[in-house]
Amino acid sequence: MHEHDYLADAFEAHRSHLQKVAYRMLGSQSEADDAVQESWIRLSRTDTDAVENMGGWLTTIVSRVCLDMLRSRKSRREELSLASVPEPVTGPQDGSDPEHEALLADAVGLAMLMVLGNLNPAERIAFVLHDIFALSFAEIAPIVGRNEAAARQLASRARRRVQGAKTTAESEAFKRKRELVDAFLAASRAGDFEKLLAVLDPDVVLRQDPAFPPVAAWPLVQGAHDVARGFLGRAQGARALLVNGAVGAIVASRGRTLFVLEIKIADGKIVEIEMIADQARVRELDLAELSHG
């Protein structure tokens, strides 16, 4: 067998695993594809005669590629841009199985997404490799360029943050806020004026962004009736997501972001909505997809 064919077959045998590793690290299917492709390029340029464990070697390579991608993303502040909001998992991926799906939902669940912007790249890599893929810290240390004890500390710090976020995400208060925002968006989509009024505080304030031309002339709208009228039938492309760690919403059309809504809630009602349409401001937000359910 030609060496290139042998390498291609070996790579294909591990592709599904590498895809899972990259997806958990990057939170984006398209970026995971890029990382796996880069791993293949690195494999094809490497003398693999001395490689005894191809699976382990490839896991190390894809992890390093992901680490580089996370670091460059952070330095460009794309960590917080909409381009890097993790894509929701919609049905089984190729070559997956029910156990993988359960692991995927757990690993890239709400808790992980809530801290995505706060985990530095090395913490994220150490956490994913140890807690999800059971690599030893001896294996992880050279990947993140630290000693074993430091790698253990990275994973531990990440784990505490994820656990803290999990507690928040599972709290009754958080669930009630999520339900309230979902009800608001559903009423807006359906054009149901009464249901909109039901979730808005009578003195609700809507701050609109002049960067969004359709509302540029009305920077401030006050009172439930006027705010409700403004949202009637308007949230067709809207979905709830985390905005700076709180439940908010994103409104998009044809794959393009129109604006983000920061939503403040008090005593079971929406008291303030701030629209952010200016893309420079949007990039400064810490945005993360909410898991379904």
pLDDT of residue 3: 60
Percent of the chain with pLDDT over 70: 80
For residue range 67-115, list pLDDT tens digits in order.
Answer: 999 888 755 444 333 333 444 333 333 444 444 444 444 444 566 666 6
10 Å CB burial of residue 283 (0-12, 13-18, 19+) is: middle
Share of the chain above pLDDT 90, in %: 38
Instruction: Return d(Cα 85, Cα 126) in angstroms, integer.
Output: 21
Per-residue model confidence as pLDDT tens digits over 215-241: 877 889 999 999 999 888 777 778 888
The amino acid sitting at 174 is F
- Among the listed residues 230, 237, 217, 210, the one whose alpha carbon sits nearest the alpha carbon of residue 270: 230
Domains of the chain: 3-169 (1.20.140.160), 172-289 (3.10.450.50)
CA-nearest of 198, 176, 200, 182 to 272 is 200
Count the helices and strands in the chain (H runs, E runs).
12, 7
The confidence score (pLDDT) of residue 113 equals 60
What is the C-alpha to C-alpha distance for residues 71 and 93, in angstroms, rounded to an integer? 27
At 115 the pLDDT is: 67
Phi and psi angles of residue 154, each rounded to the nearest 5 degrees, phi first: -60, -50
Only one residue has tokens 């995400």, namely 169
Assessment of whether the complete model's pTM goes beyond 0.85: no
H-assigned helices in the chain:
3-26, 29-44, 54-75, 98-107, 110-115, 121-127, 137-144, 148-169, 172-190, 193-199, 224-231, 279-284
Q: What is the pLDDT of residues 162-173, one digit of tens each?
A: 887 777 777 888
Mean pLDDT of all residues belonging to the chain: 80
